[in-house]
């Protein structure tokens, strides 16, 4: 099991380890030629990371601990601005872009809270796929079934592998249609997609200004909650000795009081046997613990594909951002990314205005259906991670897998909701994510439900039923 932020803070507080030592270890793993560091990272910051770690150790020695991230090495997705360098977003076409004049707002918050940024992680070019494949910088593979080299999930591909393989304690990703939750599911991690408006996106290269949200991939729900407190500004330290994020933001709930909903339609369509079996087993554990689980029809979910048939917000907003560059430099793009953006140019302003109105009605209808329920449960992804080679070899396989893998997570982005992906498989088995989702601004409640479910699944995860 991966160390949690609480584990690491205990080691730092006891003097068993220092921030410099943790940072040196993380950088050494990332730079090890025998590992995946070259595919996981697009840029490393060894000198500035070690300087920040030294400063953190000095502060801790004087009694100052700014947050649960104090002194811990983290990584950030390649779409975040860092002052003084161009933001590449997994592309080659932006190498000659002007350098950023300031670091992204969310990353500044993390640095102010004491986090040590060690590097930028690889991603799907411009975040426009859920698979994690990048022809420019290579594709890291999921730690599970390493010989088969399965996709890590995207678009925050390097982010997931970085945490799973100990290159960073936390990775910060973006989630427009599942890009935090999908790699969390495929890499056996916990990931949190907050309500989009809660975390500032200034300085993060957009895919969709309407749907983009920023969140953590980490070892546990408590880790995600601590990072979210900093990203959202709710846990920015006000007291050096007892910052909000160190006091904890979670309140576990009574299992017998949970009222949970599972959609009867869409979310298990085309699911493989492993996901069906693992999901059903997790639900049974929750029921046995006393949770009330209802299967309900959500017909709006089945309508989303047709609503987005012309490209949706993601397609329209990506086309607006890239249209001039694609007119002259399309050959420098990943062709599978370029083709998806270009096909959305047919969407008109009237289509876009209609989509805004449709979404408002769609959200209102689902919120009514979910009223009185604590959370919505579904598989994060309906299949286990496919092999990278199979998807690289065939456009048909690539796009079919991309549609299926994005389908469940993107429901929550269109809902303007929030969601966790929790590992629900037994350790050593194929990773499967359990999505715990809620409507807009229910983030704290979803995190509380998530930590309750996490505890209920503990014995299943460790292979000790009834322990």
Q: What is the mean pLDDT of the chain?
A: 96
Query: Which tokens go with 229?
Result: 């407190």
Identify whether 155 is a catalytic site residue: yes
pTM for the structure as a whole: 0.96
pLDDT the model gives residue 465: 55
Tens of pLDDT, residues 112-134: 999 999 999 999 999 999 999 99
What b/e readout covers 268-296, taking b as 16+ CB neighbours within 10 angstroms? Answer: beebbeebeebbebbbebbeebebeeeee
Please write the tens of the pLDDT for every residue from 192-233.
999 999 999 999 999 999 999 999 999 999 999 999 999 999
Return the pLDDT at 464: 73
Please check whether residue 40 is in contact with residue 101, taking contact to mean a CB–CB distance below 8 angstroms: no
Q: Indicate if 149 belongs to the active site.
A: no
Distance CA(223)–CA(113), nearest Å, equals: 14
Alpha carbon 413 to its chain's center: 12
Banded model confidence at residue 325, pLDDT cuts 50, 70, 90: very high
| Contact criterion met (CB below 8 Å) for 170 and 5 | yes
pLDDT at 356: 98
Q: CB-based contacts of 121: which residues, under 8 Å, 6+ apart?
A: 40, 41, 42, 75, 76, 77, 78, 156, 157, 158, 159, 162, 171, 173
Rounded distance between C-alpha atoms, residue 21 and residue 196, angstroms: 35
- Choose among 82, 173, 107: nearest CA to 152: 173
179 is catalytic: yes
Tell me: the pLDDT tens digits for 237-266? 543 334 444 445 799 999 999 999 999 999
Predicted confidence at residue 237, as pLDDT, reads 54
* Residues 77, 205 contacting (CB under 8 angstroms): no
- pLDDT surpassing 70 at residue 343: yes
Measured distance CA(124)–CA(168) in Å, rounded: 19
pLDDT single digits (tens) 51-105: 999 999 999 999 999 999 999 999 999 999 999 999 999 999 999 999 999 999 9
Instruction: State how far the Cα of 193 lies from the Cα of 82, in Å rounded to an integer.
Output: 22
Give the domain 5-462 fold: Amidase signature (AS) enzymes (3.90.1300)
* Active-site hit among 75, 155, 171, 208: 155
Catalytic position from the list 67, 75, 77, 174? 77
Cα–Cα distance for residue pair 56/70, rounded to 1 Å: 7
Backbone angles phi, psi at 369, to 5 degrees: -65, -30
Evaluate the CA torsion angle 207, 107, 132, 219 in order and state its sign: negative
Which among 278, 192, 274 is positioned nearest to 229, based on CA atoms?
192
**Could you read off the pLDDT of 392-408 as tens digits, one per residue?**
999 999 999 999 999 99
Q: Let me know the angle formed at the C-alpha of 84 by 83 and 89, rounded to the nearest 5 degrees.
A: 75
Reply yes or no: is the peptide bond before residue 155 cis, omega within 30 of 0: yes
Strand partners, 422: 434
Burial, 309: exposed, middle or buried (Cβ in 10 Å; 0-12, 13-18, 19+)? Answer: exposed
Question: Rounded to whole angstroms, how far apart are CA atoms 116 and 124?
Answer: 24
Among 75, 171, 179, 184, which one carries the catalytic annotation?
Answer: 179
CA angle in degrees (0–180, nearest 5) for 167-10-68: 65
Which 3 state secondary structure label does DSSP give 200?
A: coil
The pLDDT score that the predictor gives to residue 33 is: 95
Distance CA 417, CA 409 (A): 10
Joined together, the tokens standing for residue 7 give: 């584990």
Please check whether residue 142 is in contact with residue 151, taking contact to mean a CB–CB distance below 8 angstroms.
yes
Q: What are the structure tokens assigned to 361, written together?
A: 């009605």
Task: Check whether 296 has a pLDDT greater than 70.
Answer: yes
How many residues does the structure list for the chain? 467
């Amino acid at each position: 099991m991966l160390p949690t932020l609480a584990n690491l803070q205990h080691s730092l507080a006891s003097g068993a380890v220092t921030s410099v030592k943790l940072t040196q270890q993380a950088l050494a793993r990332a730079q090890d030629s025998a590992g995946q560091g070259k595919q996981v990272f697009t840029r490393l910051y060894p000198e500035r990371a070690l300087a920040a770690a030294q400063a953190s150790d000095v502060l801790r020695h004087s009694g100052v601990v700014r947050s649960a991230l104090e002194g811990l090495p983290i990584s950030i997705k390649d779409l975040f601005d860092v002052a003084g360098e161009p933001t590449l977003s997994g592309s080659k076409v932006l190498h000659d872009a002007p350098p950023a004049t300031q670091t992204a707002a969310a990353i500044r918050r993390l640095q102010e809270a004491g986090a040590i940024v060690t590097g930028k992680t690889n991603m799907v070019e411009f975040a426009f796929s859920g698979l994690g494949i990048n022809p420019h910088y290579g594709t890291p593979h999921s730690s599970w079934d390493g010989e088969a080299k399965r996709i890590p999930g995207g678009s925050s591909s390097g982010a997931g592998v970085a945490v799973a393989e100990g290159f960073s304690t936390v990775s910060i990703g973006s989630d427009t249609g599942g890009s935090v939750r999908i790699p969390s599911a495929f890499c056996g991690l916990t990931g949190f997609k907050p309500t989009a408006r809660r975390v500032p996106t200034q300085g993060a290269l957009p895919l969709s200004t309407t749907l983009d949200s920023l969140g953590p991939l980490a070892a546990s729900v408590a880790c995600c909650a601590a990072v979210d407190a900093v990203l959202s500004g709710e846990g920015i330290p006000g007291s050096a000795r007892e910052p909000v994020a160190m006091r904890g933001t979670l309140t576990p709930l009574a299992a017998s009081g949970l009222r949970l909903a599972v959609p009867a339609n869409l979310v298990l369509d085309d699911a493989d046997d492993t996901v069906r079996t693992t999901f059903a087993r997790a639900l049974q554990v929750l029921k046995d613990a006393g949770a009330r689980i209802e299967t309900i029809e959500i017909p709006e979910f089945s309508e989303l594909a047709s609503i987005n048939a012309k490209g949706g917000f993601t397609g329209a907003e990506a086309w607006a951002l890239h249209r001039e560059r694609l007119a002259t430099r399309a050959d420098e793009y990943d062709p599978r990314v370029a083709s998806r953006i270009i096909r959305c140019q047919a969407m008109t302003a009237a289509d876009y205005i209609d989509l805004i109105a449709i979404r408002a009605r769609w959200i209102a209808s689902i919120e009514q259906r979910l009223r009185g329920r604590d959370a919505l449960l579904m598989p994060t992804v309906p299949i286990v991670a496919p092999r990278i080679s199979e998807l690289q070899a065939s456009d048909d396989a690539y796009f079919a897998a991309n549609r299926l893998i994005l389908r469940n997570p993107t429901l929550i982005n269109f809902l303007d909701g929030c969601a966790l992906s929790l590992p629900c498989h037994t350790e050593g088995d194929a990773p499967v994510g359990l999505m715990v989702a809620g409507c807009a601004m229910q983030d704290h409640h979803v995190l509380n439900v998530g930590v309750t479910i996490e505890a209920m699944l503990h014995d299943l995860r460790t292979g000790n039923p009834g322990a």
